[in-house]
Amino acid sequence: MNKRIGILTAFVVVAAFAVAAIAAGNPSIEQGKTLFSSTSLGTNGKSCSVCHPGGKGLEDVAASDEEALEKTVNTCIEKALKGKALASGSPELASMVLYLKTLGTAETK
Ligand code: HEC
């Protein structure tokens, strides 16, 4: 009897964590790519790709320190897009950094 309740409780806890993880969203290159060309990050109707089409000007960022890169991303969001900086540690910011690191790697070789 008690054992069954224990197993049931464990199952509910695991399920709750799984749902929370899905809701938070795991960072991905795909999400970063979507954000890069999305006007939703700012308030002036621009997206990153307006000024950095195809990753223009960002060929060397793969070599940047991740923390510095997050700051630059947020500077461009605030100054160039007139938007709100993405929270440090958020899946959105992590996705953007993942995507930016894929840029230029093909051209610099
Ligand atoms: C209005 C134009 C504009 C928009 C929109 C814009 N940027 Fe920029 N960005 C610049 C300029 C200008 C620089 C500085 C010059 C350079 O390094 O190319 C820069 C620099 C950067 C750098 C540093 C490049 C380096 O080599 O150090 C990163 C990273 C970057 N932008 C990311 C983004 C991201 C991500 C977005 C969207 C959230 C964005 N930018 C939107 C104009 C823009």
Residue position matching structure tokens 């006007």: 39
Q: What is the pLDDT of residues 29-58, one digit of tens each?
A: 999 999 999 999 999 999 999 999 999 999
Beta carbons of 29 and 98 less than 8 angstroms apart:
yes
Q: How far is CA 62 from the centre of its chain?
A: 15
Protein residues with CB under 6 Å of any ligand 1 atom: 41, 46, 48, 50-52, 57-58, 60-61, 69, 72-73, 76-77, 80-81, 96, 100
Specify the ligand 1 atom closest to the Cα of 46.
Answer: 5
Residues 6+ away with beta carbon under 8 Å from 36: 47, 48, 49, 52, 96, 99, 100
The number of C-alpha atoms within 13 Å of 64 and in the hemisphere containing its C-beta is 20
Q: What is the pLDDT of residues 9-35, one digit of tens each?
A: 777 766 666 655 555 679 999 999 999
Cα-to-centroid distance, 98 and ligand 1 (Å): 16
Q: Is the pLDDT of residue 6 over 50?
A: yes
